[in-house]
Amino acid sequence: MFKLAHLSDIHLSPIPHARRRDLLSKRIIGYVNWHRGRKLVHRRDVLDMLTRDMLGRKPDHIAVTGDLVNLGLPEEFKRAAEWLKELGPPDDVTAIPGNHDAYVRLNPERGTGLWQPYMESNPAGEELFPTPPKGFPFVRRYGDIALIALSSAIPTMPFLAAGRIGSTQRRYLAEALTQIGKLDLFRIVLIHHPPVPGLAPWRRALRDRDKIKKILVDCGAELVLHGHNHEGSLERLETVSGTCSIVGVPSASEAMENGDPAAGYNEYCITRLNSGWQCEMAIRAASADGTTKGSKTWESKTVILR
């Protein structure tokens, strides 16, 4: 059995001090929104509560699907790198960027490049499928489990939070899914934005979601994990290799206005069976009394995938 924990939309708080010149961009809108209310929504104490529970359950691996920062300030990326170290070493944690991690154009050495050890293939994944020159998608393999990590993070105009995978990543994704599928491995795609139509409004949607959906249908995948919407969701997609579950998680730091945390993460226990695969999904939600509790938001938390 392989136990995978998935969390997303970290939005580490508090944000560092921003100089006036740092805000001469789209950041000024985010800065105003943060102080108008988002700082009350995304709380470090809620995040810490959730991650303590997650680490206490000893997952084999942790996937973080983007939006670790808020305004794209260089100091935020440094703090996020330290937070990733708290989760575990790079071999045990995989991270991908979200739209807030590409809030403005920034030299990678001052931005997501600080997370590079968490955003690259491991040796087994490199043998399975070579990483393209620009780094995405990258593949990590852990026994019979293959993680295929995409980046949908692109800078956008103010008031937009859209994403795009692009033609190069799409081509490599199709090749990776096909090649890995021939080895009968359990394929998990990591992406920040929801990869199918109907899950996000236009200004927040993945621009090439229809093309990504077609790749999933034509090439197959067992599980797709995403964030972005700050809410739990489950969609089923019929593919060439069977049913693929597309699962979104809430923000890992979010507290509702009444103080009751809305944050959560998902835990997947994946087992190979003679007839295929079993994937048992447990939803872990933070509660107001400072503990976490299992939640049966969906009718069944057991999904048989093939």
Q: What confidence score (pLDDT) does residue 38 get?
A: 79
Q: What confidence score (pLDDT) does residue 189 get?
A: 98
Distance CA 184, CA 163 (A): 30
Q: What confidence score (pLDDT) does residue 300 get?
A: 35
Can you list the positions of beta strands (E) in the chain? Answer: 2-7, 61-65, 93-96, 138-142, 145-149, 186-190, 223-226, 233-239, 242-248, 264-273, 276-286, 292-295, 302-305
The arithmetic mean of pLDDT across residues 125-148, rounded, is 94
Q: What confidence score (pLDDT) does residue 288 get?
A: 62
Distance CA 147, CA 149 (A): 6
The arithmetic mean of pLDDT across residues 124-150, rounded, is 95
User: Shortest CA distance to 43 belongs to which of 267, 297, 292, 286?
Assistant: 286
Instruction: Write out pLDDT tens, residues 256-303.
Output: 766 566 899 999 999 998 878 999 999 888 766 666 665 433 333 444
Instruction: Write out pLDDT tens, residues 52-110.
Output: 999 999 999 999 999 999 988 899 999 999 999 999 999 999 999 999 999 777 777 88
Superfamily of the domain at 2-305: Metallo-dependent phosphatases (3.60.21.10)
Residue 43 has pLDDT above 80, yes or no: yes
Amino acid in the structure at residue 32: V
- Domain extents in the chain: 2-305
The arithmetic mean of pLDDT across residues 131-135, rounded, is 87
The arithmetic mean of pLDDT across residues 110-134, rounded, is 93
Distance CA 303, CA 202 (A): 30
Residue 39 has pLDDT above 50, yes or no: yes
Q: What confidence score (pLDDT) does residue 298 get?
A: 32
Length of the chain: 306
Q: What confidence score (pLDDT) does residue 182 get?
A: 95
Q: What confidence score (pLDDT) does residue 255 get?
A: 86
The arithmetic mean of pLDDT across residues 209-232, rounded, is 97
Residue 168 has pLDDT above 80, yes or no: yes
Retrieve residue 223's tokens. 């599980």
Distance CA 188, CA 220 (A): 10
More confident residue, 27 or 2: 2
Task: Tell me the whole-structure pTM to 2 decimals.
Answer: 0.93
The arithmetic mean of pLDDT across residues 8-37, rounded, is 77
Residue 158 has pLDDT above 50, yes or no: yes
Q: What confidence score (pLDDT) does residue 252 get?
A: 96
Q: How confident is the model at residue 41 (pLDDT cuts 50, 70, 90)?
A: confident
Instruction: Write out pLDDT tens, residues 244-258.
Output: 999 999 999 998 766
SS3 of 142, please?
Answer: strand
Instruction: Write out pLDDT tens, residues 189-217.
Output: 999 999 998 889 999 999 999 999 999 99
Residue 305 has pLDDT above 50, yes or no: no
Q: What confidence score (pLDDT) does residue 291 get?
A: 66
Distance CA 17, CA 45 (A): 20
Q: What confidence score (pLDDT) does residue 306 get?
A: 39
Amino acid in the structure at residue 153: A
Distance CA 163, CA 62 (A): 23
Q: What confidence score (pLDDT) does residue 260 get?
A: 64
Distance CA 78, CA 133 (A): 25
